[in-house]
Structure 1
Amino acid sequence: MRITHPSAAERGVQVETTNAPVLAGETFLGTERGASGPSLRAKVPVRADDGGVVGMVAVGVLESSIAEDRDHALAGLLPWGIGALIVATLASSALTAAVERRFRRADAVAAENAQMSRTTAALREQSHEFGTRLHVIHGLVSRGDAAAALDYIEDVVPVRSAGGGSAGGEPVAEATMHAVRAELLDLGAQAEFDLALQGDLDEGAVSVVTNLCRNAAEAGATRVRCVLLDEEGRLRGAVEDDGPGIDPRVAGRIFGQGFSTKDDRTGFGRGYGLDLVRRTVTSRGGTVEVGPSPLGGARFAFEMERV
């Protein structure tokens, strides 16, 4: 029976979620849907003086609260992104390095303010995504596509703008390829692209492509190939690699939040890239599948609506 709860109506009633492992003495950390909605939760047993379990304590953070914190953090970082564009066109590489240090300090502050380890891991994944976006913005500015860079920023976080659109081509797609190649080189992998697009990539498509390519390189691949094409108003793509592949025993769980087969050397948690891919694709009426690759590793194929 629940002894205390933020909502008075929930006090004194039977707990809805499954708690047998906790009452058996185990610690639980994961996602559940409770009386207040989906949340990240931690549960620990309460023991009597003789060591027997007599109850449990559960704490949690609503997923809606995490999403609100994420959106607030991105909005707060937007002025820095615009400042980075100006600095990239007018200043030297030394000033660019100083701006990047500011972003790293902002990430550190976000991590220090996190109240739970799972919340910290989620914020770390958002920081990684923001770094990818900066790579794309840098690529656009390096090409001289200032208008396309502004369009891309407005696609990430809508802002008031008096400017027009891009001058043609697929500048975001090209900047994304540049960013992915640079990031994968740091991880010891080569990236290949085969694009047949009828328009540029939007923010959701950039997130899917970058996360799948990064996941392949982090898994140990040395060659990563990405294919994208437009077909009847839908974006279809595949990312395949020559890495170790996916163990069939865990194939059904790899898209779950927090699940990862890679070692976490950072201490902040892993297993959020593929979960982000799944949520992005399904939110746009699409699907994502995993299977063996002709290159010898894993192949992730997806399709979703164009926006």
Structure 2
Amino acid sequence: MTLGAQLLLLQVGIVLVTLLLAGAVAVHYQQEQIRDAYRQQALTVANSTARLPSVVDAYGTADPSETLQPLAELIREASLVTFVVITDASGIRFSHPDPDRIGERVSTDPTTTLAGEVFVGTETGTLGESLRAKVPVRDADGEVIGAVSVGILERELAAEFDREAPVLVAWLGGAALVGALGSVLVVRLLRRRIFGLEPEEIARLLETREAMLHGIREGLVAVDQKGRVVLVNDEASRLLDLPPDAVGRPAAEVLDTAMLPLVLGDRPVTDELVLSGERLLVASRTPAVVGGRRIADVLTLRDRTELFGAMRELDGQRNLTNTLRAQAHEFSNQLHVVQGLIELDRRDEAVAFIERIGGGRLLGGAPLSTVVDPGVTALLLAKAAVAREQGVRLVLGADSRLPAGLGDDVVTVVGNLVDNAVDATGQGGEVQVLVRQEDDGAVLVQVDDDGPGVAPADRARVFDVGVTTKGRPDGDHGRGIGLALVARIAARRGGTAAVTDSPTGGARVTVRLPGSRQPSPGALVAP
């Protein structure tokens, strides 16, 4: 049986059961209303008859029935009751619908009424079971001299209900019809809302949806028009480090501040680089439209942390290749000079020539042995080689000292700061690097360049994502990312990052990293 048929039968069943219960209550209420109306009618007629002066006066005549019988019949016909019986103080009838019963004692107990009390209830008399009211008749002194009994047969009450019942049944039938039609409309609306799918199909779609959402390697975050997160897959939770209860909460409470403009803003977002925490992500936003109505915005996220590092390394290799190609001819001539000097057995002059054209050590300044950490040492040598090919001299500060085992955060900070300084300095410039562990265990990284420097108004902004002072297009790999990443690492470690003027004429970037902590999973590490 289809879902629509099940829902229709269920709703119709509920409507019918409700109507049956309501009908039973209505029948009982209607019966009580009819009985109350007739009870009040009988009591009113009995009270009125007992107080009539002509009735009281008839008790003083020689033959009260001669006056009371026609009067009782007139009252009975006028009030539409079954009987009006008037008795004396002994219960002997003075009137009765059947004249042959006059002079006989009443068939029901008159004791209560003759004692001066009013009786209203159901009793069985000579005419059958009836609802009756009995009222005492009093003389001018208030003495009970008789009684008036007014009654309506129970079968007349039943007949009255039978006359009212068709109307009640019609109303209940109309309600049942309206309920059935409403059930049909509800089922159709529900089917339209669920696109005519059956429960098994919905379950399969949900399982497929969950498998797809949590199986794809792109992060998905959906935010509705009220700014609440309505969907998050596993990859998005990993990339954005979201709490388990992110779904249902306002986006402003759970998303990184860098993400909020992308998912809540009005501008188009397509393959936009964003730094979330220490991850470089590519974000795109797509509106979710159902039935022509925009119900949410879906933000797709791709992790480009490793790709970013690979791109930067590729850029460095490409620059190195171009430099080597341009200098190949010059190196060839220099090798010929060295070969000639050796053949002439002028070895001292050959060594002097080699030192002069090679520039001595790759890294100037303090000996590299003061930096024990192998990661930082290897990084400085690699950066010095790349800097030399770009015409920049890299110098290690005299106060540099760094033990081993300080983690990847230091490598990332040093690499990004040196890259930015070499780019800012340009050919013929010099970059000075100071790396030192302080007495309190904090690591100090200070990089100076002799480039154009950073204007005071821009020194706070340079740590924002996408901000660069190098005058190159943002399309270059990583532009506006390096210093932002450095600032976030420093903030995570509880440290500081600042830009000031350098004694060499350019900019000085100083970063202080308290303690020794490992980076978050997936953090950018300089190539």
Paired with 2:380 and 2:511, the residues of 1 have a C-alpha distance of: 18
> Match of 1:237, SS?
strand
- Give the one of 170, 183, 189 matched to 2:392: 189
Alignment of 1:63-78 (within 5 A): none
On the 8 A contact 1:288/1:302 being kept in 2, the answer is: yes
1:188 CA drift (Å): 2.5
Pair 1:245 & 2:453 matched: yes
On the 8 A contact 2:443/2:514 being kept in 1, the answer is: yes
On the 8 A contact 1:226/1:240 being kept in 2, the answer is: yes
Compute the TM-score of the two structures, normalised by the length of structure 2: 0.32
Paired with 2:442 and 2:476, the residues of 1 have a C-alpha distance of: 38
Paired with 2:274 and 2:456, the residues of 1 have a C-alpha distance of: 33
Cα 1:120–1:259 change in 2 (3 A) is farther
1:223 CA drift (Å): 0.4
Correspondence for 2:59? none
1:266 CA drift (Å): 4.5
Higher helix proportion? 2
Compute the TM-score of the two structures, normalised by the length of structure 1: 0.52
Aligned length: 197
Task: Give CA deviations for 1:39-68 in whole Å, capped at 9, x if unaligned.
Answer: 1755999xxxxxxxxxx5665899999679
Q: For residue 37 of structure 1, what is the amino acid of its counterpart?
A: L
Identity %: 27
Paired with 1:214 and 1:64, the residues of 2 have a C-alpha distance of: 20
1:290 CA drift (Å): 1.0
Correspondence for 1:225? 432
Correspondence for 2:501? 292
Cα 1:276–1:190 change in 2 (3 A) is same
Pair 1:254 & 2:462 matched: yes
Paired with 1:131 and 1:173, the residues of 2 have a C-alpha distance of: 20
Structure 2: where are the runs of 5+ without partners?
1-220, 229-250, 286-300, 318-370, 517-527
Correspondence for 1:157? none
Paired with 1:306 and 1:35, the residues of 2 have a C-alpha distance of: 29
Alignment of 1:38-187 (within 5 A): 38=256, 39=259, 41=261, 56=266, 116=284, 123=305, 125-128=308-311, 169-187=372-390
Paired with 1:280 and 1:294, the residues of 2 have a C-alpha distance of: 26
Pair 1:270 & 2:475 matched: no
- Give the one of 403, 416, 422 matched to 1:198: 403
Paired with 1:285 and 1:178, the residues of 2 have a C-alpha distance of: 29
1:264 CA drift (Å): 2.0
Structure 1: where are the runs of 5+ without partners?
13-32, 46-55, 71-110, 135-167
Paired with 1:276 and 1:68, the residues of 2 have a C-alpha distance of: 6
> Match of 1:205, SS?
helix
Pair 1:215 & 2:420 matched: yes
Q: Which has the larger radius of gyration?
A: 2
On the 8 A contact 1:129/1:207 being kept in 2, the answer is: no
Pair 1:305 & 2:514 matched: yes
Task: Give CA deviations for 1:53-106 in whole Å, capped at 9, x if unaligned.
Answer: xxx566589999967986xxxxxxxxxxxxxxxxxxxxxxxxxxxxxxxxxxxx
Pair 1:37 & 2:255 matched: yes
- Higher mean C-alpha displacement, 275-284 vs 265-274: 265-274
Higher relative contact order (CA 8 A, sep 6+): 1
1:120 CA drift (Å): 8.3
On the 8 A contact 2:312/2:477 being kept in 1, the answer is: no
Q: For residue 172 of structure 1, what is the amino acid of its counterpart?
A: G
Q: CA RMSD of the aligned region, Å?
A: 4.4
Paired with 2:502 and 2:227, the residues of 1 have a C-alpha distance of: 53
> Match of 1:236, SS?
strand
